[in-house]
Amino acid sequence: MEMLRAPGLVVERPLELSGQWFAELCLWLRAPFGELGPLGWPMVLIPEIIDSRYRLGDDAVQVYQRVEWNRPVPRQEFNASGRVEWLSSREGSIETGVVTEARLDDERIAESLLVARMAGDLESYGTRALPPRPTIDEASLYRRKTLVVDEATIRHFAALAGTRAPVHVDERYAWARGYPTILVQGLLLFMTQLFYAGVGPTGRGEMWFRRTVPAGSLLESCQSTDDPTLWALRLVGGGAVAAVARISA
């Protein structure tokens, strides 16, 4: 929460990917060792990876995420930066947009916008910029993949991402907030959908989160037959759409 109190503050640092964390990330993404490709950008641009002070509140819920890239994640050193773009406060809750980006030789090669909502009472600043969720005709959805995200996967991803929000790792914390078990991370859902959709060396992906997804839920990854850039993750039990994505190359 510290960074949210300082509008306009930019943190920048050089980043070179190597070591055990990098090796595990390549393995998790099923990428050749040393080559993350473009699918690694959502993970590399996590605000907490740039600076641990960007850690949001324990009760933070992801609302939206967008990632754009002009090339795959480079192996050589590049500059990574983060900033809080805006904060909107209303009736005891706050919503914030955190921007992170990567530059190589002064060229912006990737950028991410993460929007999250949490309890709090801070003064608003900046201009709230949250793209409207696209309308999707559920009758047009064609199932492409079926998946289950289990607790072990969620905990492993939390350790890999370095984002140990208790609702993703602590069953008692999740129970106390009315959830049947720990929840799947929004970023994990986003990266899973990018993987199923397939991404090229340049592209853009964004996801709007509509419902929480408890561990063990059976999900369908569906593509719209009306607009091939639109995807949805649907809960098989009940058919509710948990997240809507737009992915383009």
Condensed to tens digits (0 to 9), the pLDDT of residues 30-71 reads 777 778 889 899 999 999 888 888 888 888 889 999 999 999
**pLDDT reading at 75 higher than 90:** no
Query: What pLDDT, on a 0 to 100 scale, did the predictor assign at position 16?
Result: 86
Please give the Cα distance from 163 to 56 (Å, whole number): 9
Condensed to tens digits (0 to 9), the pLDDT of residues 16-28 reads 888 888 888 888 8
Supply φ then ψ for residue 202, to 5 degrees.
-125, 150
Domains of the chain: 1-130 (3.10.129.10), 131-249 (3.10.129.10)
Please give the Cα distance from 220 to 234 (Å, whole number): 5
Please give the Cα distance from 105 to 118 (Å, whole number): 36
The strand pair at 10-15 and 78-90 is best described as antiparallel
Condensed to tens digits (0 to 9), the pLDDT of residues 133-175 reads 999 898 999 988 999 999 999 999 988 887 778 999 999 999 9
CA torsion sign, 103 to 160 to 202 to 243?
Answer: negative
CA torsion sign, 135 to 90 to 127 to 193?
Answer: negative
User: Which residues are within 8 A (CB) of 223 and not within 5 positions of it... i.e. 6 or more apart?
Assistant: 141, 142, 144, 197, 230, 231
Closest to 162 (Cα-Cα) out of 30, 16, 51? 51
- pTM: predicted TM-score of the whole model, two decimal places: 0.92
Question: Which residues in 51-92 belong to E strands, given as ranges?
Answer: 61-69, 78-90
